[in-house]
Amino acid sequence: MLPEYLAGLRRDTAAAEEALARGDWEKVRDLAHVFKGLGGSFGCDEVTRLGGLLEAAAKAGRADPARGLMGELADYVSRIELAPEP
């Protein structure tokens, strides 16, 4: 289940970056809400934290903070590696 979550997280992160570039605040907000909710379910507290902050920035239409948070999230997600199964 974790590999599927990570694949979806990477896909959704890319989609959020594209939505942010287009100024699609509703899409950014929706994806950030997903990051916030699912991060905790899978033990990714940093994804939850960044998702919550990104959601708030998107709700407020705050482009500069949203871009910074999106960059942090994308960087964090790119560094997640799953341990090989025994």
What's the pLDDT at 7? 94
Residue 85 inside a domain? The answer is no
CATH number for the domain that contains residue 41? 1.20.120.160
Query: Tell me, what's the pLDDT at 16?
Result: 98
Number of domains making up the chain: 1
Angstrom CA distances, 52 to 1, 32, 83, stand at: 23, 7, 27
Please report whether residue 58 resides in a domain. yes
Enclosing domain of residue 40: 2-79
Residue 24 counted as domain residue: yes
- The model's pLDDT over 65-84, given as tens digits with 9 standing for 90+, comes to 999 999 999 999 999 988 77
pLDDT at position 3, please? 87
